Amino acid sequence: MTSQQFTIGIEEEYMILDPQTRELKSHQNKIIEQAEKILQKDKVKAEMHQAVVEVGTSICNNIEEARSDVRLLRKTISELAQSEGLRCGASGTHPFSLWYKQSITENPRYHEIVNEMQDAARSNLIFGLHVHIGIQSREMAIHIANSVRYFLPHIYALSTNSPFWEGRNTGFKSYRSKVFDKFPRTGIPDFFESIEEYDNYIKVLIKTNCIDNAKKIWWDIRVHPSYNTIEFRICDILLTTDETIAIAALFQAICVKLYRLRMQNMNYIIYKRFYINENKWRASRYGIDGLLIDFGKETEVPVKSLILELLDFIDDVIDDLGSRDAINTVFKILKSGTGADKQLAIFEKTKKLTDVVDFICDEFLK
C-alpha cells in the first residue's frame, strides 16, 4: 500500500442561523434542495435537526484536494443560506439556542432514532467533524484503529470548539462530547484482537436487536461498515477551513506512520480504553491548555508538549503526503488558541453571546 492510497473524505455539520436573533433556524430543507442542483447529490444532506446541514467532500487523493472541496462546500452553503436570509456557522454547539425549540427533519430514520432514544436524541443538537482515511485492507484498518486511539485526545484538544451550551459557559472547552455521551455506543472504543472479533461484535448486536445496522455504532473512531475507511468522529467542527484541513492532515499522517511501522514489523503501544478515556476527559475540559497523561512515563505532560511530540512522530511522512503546509496550521492553533478559546475571549470582552455567534459566522469562510 502506497501513501497515495490513504485517501481523505471529510464530513462537516453546519449550523443555520437567523442573522437578527442569532438563533438556530430551520431552513425547511430549502438549502438542501438548492445545493443538490449545484453539487453532487451525495455531497449534502439534511440532519436530524432542521437547523443543520451536513456536507461531505468527494474522495480526495491528497489534502489540497480536500481543502478545495471543503472551501467550495462552505462557500456554496453560505451563499444559499444568504439567499434565504440566513447565515452559516461552525461550532460544536450553539452558544444559546435551546434544543427543545428545534424541529426534527421528517425522515423515517430520524423518527426511529428519536422513538428509541427519546430526549437523548432530541437534545443531540451538536455539530461535528468526521474524517475518513482510506484503508484498503480491513485487517490493516483494525490494527491502525487500535493504535491510533491513543492520539485521539491530543487531536480532540486541538479541535475543541464548544464551550457554551444553552446560554451558559459550561467550563468545558468541548461540551459537545458531553451531550453526545447520552447516546449508547459512543466514546473511545475497545481494542479488538482482529477484524473478525470486530465483525462478530456487530453480528451479536444485530442478532440481539441492539442495532439494526453497524452505522449505529457511534464511537470516536470506527472501521466504517460500508467504506474501506477508518472514520475519525471525535472532533468538534472547526471554525475555519484551514483548521479542518489541519486536523484531517493529522489523521492521515498518523495512519500512514502507523502503517509504515507495521510494514517494518514494529507497532505503537496499545493502551486500554480506560486510560485513553482519562485523557479524553481532560481534553474536553481544558483543551490545549491542560495536562494529559503520558502513560509510558506515568506522569502528566502539557497538551502542547504532547502535540509537538506527535508532530515530530509524523514528520517523516508529511512531505510524502504533501501536507506540511496544512499541518503547519497546528502551530497557529497552539499559538492563538482553539475555537473554544476564541469564543471565550469574545465573550469575556463583550459579555454578549450574540457577539460570539457573529464571530462564529464571520470565521466560517476563512
Residue 27 reports pLDDT greater than 90: no
Mind listing the pLDDT tens digit for each residue in 82-99? 999 999 999 999 999 999
Domain 11-363: which topology?
Creatine Kinase; Chain A, domain 2 (3.30.590)
Grid cell 432542521 is found at 50
**Residue 56 in contact with residue 231, Cβ under 8 Å?**
no
If you count them, how many residues does the chain have?
366
Q: Going by C-beta distance under 8 Å and a sequence separation of 6 or more, which residues neighbour residue 203?
A: none
Q: Given pLDDT bands bounded at 50, 70 and 90, which one contains residue 1? A: very low
Pick left, alpha or beta for residue 337 (phi over 0 → left; psi -120 to 50 → alpha; otherwise beta). Answer: left
- The Cα 99–Cα 318 span in angstroms is 41
CA angle 341, 241, 337 (to 5 degrees): 20
Grid cell 438542501 is found at 32
- The Cα 190–Cα 149 span in angstroms is 9
Q: Given pLDDT bands bounded at 50, 70 and 90, which one contains residue 193? A: very high
Residue 113 reports pLDDT greater than 90: no
- 223-229 CB contacts, 8 Å cutoff, 24+ apart: 223/135, 223/138, 223/141, 223/142, 223/145, 223/195, 223/198, 224/132, 227/9, 227/132, 227/134, 228/134, 228/135, 228/136, 228/138, 228/141, 229/7, 229/9, 229/132, 229/133, 229/134, 229/135, 229/141
Q: Which helix (H) or strand (E) element contains residue 197?
A: helix 195-207
Q: Going by C-beta distance under 8 Å and a sequence separation of 6 or more, which residues neighbour residue 312?
A: none
Q: Given pLDDT bands bounded at 50, 70 and 90, which one contains residue 4? A: low
Mind listing the pLDDT tens digit for each residue in 128-161? 999 999 998 999 999 999 999 999 999 999 999 9
Residue 187 bridge partners (DSSP): 219
- The Cα 151–Cα 111 span in angstroms is 35
- Which 8-state DSSP code applies to residue 82? H
Residue 116 reports pLDDT greater than 50: yes
Angle between helices 138-148 and 241-263 (to 10 degrees): 110
